[in-house]
Structure formats: structure tokens, C-alpha cells
């Protein structure tokens, strides 16, 4: 376990790497890196999820022992964003309020969160989650409803809040390559499948979400029709058939740092990776052109885990982390697309961060939350089975 301490006059900010694991008998949620799903025989995924939610609620009712008091714990996906969030958001709050804040990194493992809440051994207070996981967790009662008397809901852009979530940042993935190694690269997803014109390995996310959309885009489905097609059995068959073509040429990634590493080392010639990290690499001297017309994007949200020991303080932290001043300071150091309207529409911030995902929304495909809530379990299970062949 690794500890990193940043000392202030009256505060201590601690980063702790590590976490729990859980193998539930009911099923496993899809996560950011593409967590496997276990499907109960004889039940549909949706029915299984509802049944599990009921059993889960019974488990919550049985749990009684309160968690012990400790530092406020905030958990994110790591990387450069969290490094800068630690400086401007976590440490900023700790300094201003005189409280102790710790932060940890996870890969979106919802099974871990469910296990914590069910056992009433909650070690996380505030966590960052993707939209589909937020919707499921809110429905199943593993996240608290946010207190809008503490958090100003009016400060967010449209769609920037849900019952359990406050918008943290917009994010996206796009196609890129290393111009230092390859003079030209695929200009769209159809060309990513052109192995003669663009030889070499490709790197794609090891998970159904985003990867299936990319397959249909590569097969000529218009962006506006992707989810309509993918919701049908024929559309799903079409997406997996397209992936069959590229599978021998792919190096799969699970962590958001891997696409840059794979392209930088030459192990992959082309990759689909997180835009913010690609832009940051370019600021450091890399030559990775972002193909904005290949953008797939969504929002991550801050939420409070149910029965978090520091629930009230967690609400206050979310309020601070979504305020204009700390987010403006963060945006000066890191290319982000905040959900705070004042920052998102600030001309100086837009000029400094031309790669803000919100500025390229018309060029890309918004990842459909409702689709992945409805179909995610089945498609993640199918993808993992396909990948294992």
C-alpha cells in the first residue's frame, strides 16, 4: 500500500492506493475497465437486477453497526485529473474547511461499492462514477440522494445533475496515433478497419461500452442511429461480426493510461483513448493528433455512498468541488470539461482548453446512459464471452 502525504498548517491530505474485491453470487456490475458480469440461469438480466436489488435492500435493513469516524474519503479514477483534483479540489477543501481529506483510486468496480454498503463497512464517502453506474446505483439505493439545500443545483449545465449525482467533468474517447512513428493515420473508424492502408496493431477498450458503438460506426451506421441499431438482435450481431474482423489486430486496454503507453512504445500503432490524457501528452511534447470526428463522450458524476460515515461532510465537499472558483483553478492546470456552467462558458477557459469535450459535442456521439442501463449487463457478458474465445 502506498501513502502520499501533503501537509498544510491544519490539514492532512492522504492518498491511499488499494482496495477491496468481491465475488457476489447474484451478479457483477460492469465497470470502467469492463468488469465481468455473472448471469443467473433462467432469469433475464433485467429481472435478475431487480431481484438482486430487492435482496440487497433486505441486506441493508439488516445492517446496523455504524462505521467508525475517520478522514473524509474521496475516490476517483486516478491519472492526471485526480492529481490535479487533489491539488485544487481535495486539498483546497481541506485547507479552507480545516478537515482531513484522503483520496483513493478505483476502476469503477461497482461490486466493491455494493459489498461495502451491504456489509455496512463503508470506507468511501464521495466517489466519481460514470452515468450508467450512477443510474443503477441510485435505483438500487447504494448512493445517497444529494442534498440540494447544500449543493446549488442552478450552477450546473443542463443534464449536469441527477437525483444522486452532481456533474464532475465531461470526458470522451477518440482515435489517435503517434505522428512521430506514423506520418498519417485513420481519419475515422471505418479506416481503423483498413488493415492494408494502415498496418499495425490497434488498441481498443476491453469492454462492450464504447467498443460496440465504434464497431457500428466503422460499419457505416450513422451516429444518430447507433443506439437504435444496437438495441436490436441483428444490430448486436452486426457489431460483434465487425469486431471479429479487427480482433486479431487488437491490443486490448483496461486502464486509461494504457492507450498512451501502447502507442508511445510502438506496441500499438493506433488507439482509442481518453481525450484529456491525449491532449495532456501533446502538451508534454507528444504528437498524437486527436480525431474529433471519432469522439464518444459522456459525464462523470460525484456521488455519496449510502451510509457513508461522513455523509454530511461529503455533501459539502461535492458543493465545493463543483463551485466556480476551484474548478476555474483546476481548468488552468488541466484540460477538463466541467459541468459548472460558469466555468464551461468562460471564454478564457475555452481558449486555454480548446480540447474541452463540450466544445466538440456536435462532432461526436453522446454515450446513451439509458441504453447501457437497459442493455449493459447482457452486452458486457456477451462481450466478455466473445473476448475469451
User: Which residues on neighbouring strands pair with residue 172, listed in sequence order?
Assistant: 297
pLDDT band per the 50, 70, 90 thresholds, residue 29: very low
Is the pLDDT score of 133 beyond 80?
Answer: yes
| More confident site: 308 or 160 | 308
Residue 365 lies in a domain: no
Which range of residues forms the domain containing residue 59? 2-170+299-355
Residue 363 lies in a domain: no
Q: Helix or strand or coil: residue 206?
A: coil
Mean pLDDT on 318-329: 97
Alpha-carbon distance of 338 to 323, in angstroms, equals 10
Query: Structural domain tally of the chain?
Result: 2
Condensed to tens digits (0 to 9), the pLDDT of residues 243-300 reads: 999 999 999 999 888 999 999 999 999 999 999 889 889 989 999 999 999 999 988 9
**Same domain as 285, residue 158:** no
Q: Helix or strand or coil: residue 175?
A: strand
Q: How many residues does the chain have?
A: 389
Q: Helix or strand or coil: residue 191?
A: helix
Mean pLDDT on 213-242: 98
**Same domain as 231, residue 198:** yes
**Same domain as 147, residue 291:** no
Is the pLDDT score of 232 beyond 90?
Answer: yes
Query: Each residue of 146-168: b (16+ CB within 10 Å) or e?
Result: beeeebeeebbbeebbbebbbbb
- Strands 72-76 and 126-130 turn out to be parallel
**Same domain as 321, residue 245:** no
Is the pLDDT score of 126 beyond 60?
Answer: yes
**Same domain as 152, residue 13:** yes
**Same domain as 241, residue 200:** yes
Is the pLDDT score of 47 beyond 90?
Answer: no
Asked if residue 351 lies in contact with residue 371, where contact means CB atoms within 8 angstroms, the answer is no
**Same domain as 314, residue 218:** no
**Same domain as 136, residue 185:** no
**Same domain as 159, residue 45:** yes
**Same domain as 210, residue 252:** yes
Q: Which residues contact 331 (CB under 8 A, 6 or more apart)?
A: 338, 343, 346, 349, 352, 353
Average confidence score pLDDT of the chain: 84
**Same domain as 152, residue 180:** no
Alpha-carbon distance of 374 to 370, in angstroms, equals 6
Asked if residue 288 lies in contact with residue 282, where contact means CB atoms within 8 angstroms, the answer is yes
Residue 360 lies in a domain: no
Joined together, the cell numbers standing for residue 192 give: 481503423
**Which residue's C-alpha cell is 462558458?**
345
Joined together, the cell numbers standing for residue 361 give: 459535442
Evaluate the CA torsion angle 30, 34, 36, 42 in order and state its sign: positive
Evaluate the CA torsion angle 79, 83, 88, 89 in order and state its sign: positive
**Same domain as 207, residue 194:** yes
- Strands 202-205 and 270-274 turn out to be parallel
125 to 90, 135, 340: CA distances (angstroms): 13, 18, 22
Is the pLDDT score of 364 beyond 70?
Answer: yes
When mean pLDDT is compared across 50-64, 151-165, 318-332, 342-356, the lowest value belongs to 50-64
Residue 367 lies in a domain: no
Residue 306 lies in a domain: yes
What is the per-residue pLDDT for 69?
56
Q: CA geometry: angle at 279 spanning 105 and 220, to 5°?
A: 100
Q: Which CATH number goes with the domain that contains 214?
A: 3.40.190.10
Highest mean pLDDT among 81-85, 243-247, 271-275, 340-344: 243-247
List, as one string, the DSSP characters of 141-160.
T-BPPP-TTTS-GGGBPTT-
Residue 327 lies in a domain: yes
End-to-end C-alpha distance for the chain, whole angstroms: 35
Alpha-carbon distance of 119 to 64, in angstroms, equals 9
Amino acid at each position: 500500500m502506498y501513502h502520499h502525504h501533503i501537509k498544510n498548517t491544519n490539514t492532512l491530505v492522504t492518498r491511499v492506493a488499494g482496495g477491496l474485491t468481491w465475488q457476489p453470487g447474484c451478479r457483477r456490475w460492469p465497470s470502467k475497465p469492463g468488469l465481468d458480469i455473472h448471469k443467473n440461469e433462467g432469469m433475464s438480466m433485467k429481472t435478475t437486477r431487480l431481484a438482486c436489488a430487492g435482496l440487497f435492500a433486505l441486506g441493508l435493513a439488516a445492517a446496523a453497526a455504524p462505521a467508525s469516524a475517520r478522514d473524509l474519503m474521496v475516490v476517483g479514477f486516478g491519472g492526471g485529473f485526480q492529481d490535479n483534483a487533489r491539488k485544487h479540489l481535495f486539498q483546497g477543501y481541506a485547507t479552507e474547511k480545516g478537515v482531513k481529506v484522503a483520496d483513493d483510486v478505483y476502476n469503477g468496480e461497482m461490486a466493491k461499492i455494493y459489498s461495502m454498503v451491504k456489509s455496512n463497512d463503508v470506507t468511501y464517502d464521495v466517489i466519481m462514477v460514470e452515468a450508467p453506474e450512477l443510474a443503477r446505483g441510485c435505483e438500487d439505493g447504494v448512493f445517497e440522494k444529494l442534498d440540494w439545500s447544500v449543493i446549488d443545483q442552478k450552477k450546473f449545465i443542463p443534464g449536469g445533475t441527477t437525483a444522486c449525482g452532481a456533474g464532475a467533468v465531461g470526458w470522451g474517447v477518440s482515435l489517435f496515433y503517434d505522428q512521430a512513428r506514423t506520418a498519417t493515420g485513420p481519419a475515422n473508424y471505418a479506416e481503423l478497419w483498413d488493415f492494408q492502408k494502415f498496418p499495425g496493431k490497434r488498441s481498443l477498450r476491453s469492454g462492450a461500452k464504447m467498443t460496440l458503438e465504434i464497431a457500428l460506426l466503422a460499419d457505416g451506421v450513422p451516429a444518430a442511429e447507433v443506439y437504435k441499431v444496437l438495441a436490436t438482435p441483428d444490430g448486436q450481431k452486426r457489431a460483434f461480426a465487425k469486431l471479429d474482423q479487427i480482433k486479431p489486430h487488437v491490443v486490448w486496454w483496461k486502464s486509461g493510461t494504457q492507450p498512451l503507453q501502447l502507442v508511445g512504445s510502438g506496441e500499438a500503432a493506433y488507439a482509442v483513448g481518453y481525450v484529456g490524457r491525449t491532449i495532456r501528452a501533446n502538451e508534454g511534447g507528444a504528437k498524437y493528433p486527436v480525431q474529433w470526428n471519432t469522439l464518444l463522450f459522456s459525464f462523470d458524476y460525484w456521488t455519496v455512498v449510502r451510509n457513508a460515515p461522513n455523509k454530511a461532510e461529503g455533501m459539502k465537499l461535492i458543493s465545493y468541488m463543483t463551485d466556480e472558483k476551484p474548478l476555474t483553478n483546476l481548468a488552468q492546470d488541466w484540460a477538463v470539461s466541467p459541468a459548472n456552467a460558469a466555468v464551461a462558458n468562460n471564454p478564457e477557459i475555452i481558449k486555454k482548453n480548446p480540447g474541452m469535450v463540450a466544445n466538440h459535442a456536435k462532432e461526436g456521439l453522446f454515450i446513451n446512459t439509458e441504453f447501457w442501463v437497459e442493455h449493459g449487463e447482457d452486452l458486457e457478458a456477451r462481450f466478455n464471452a466473445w473476448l475469451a474465445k
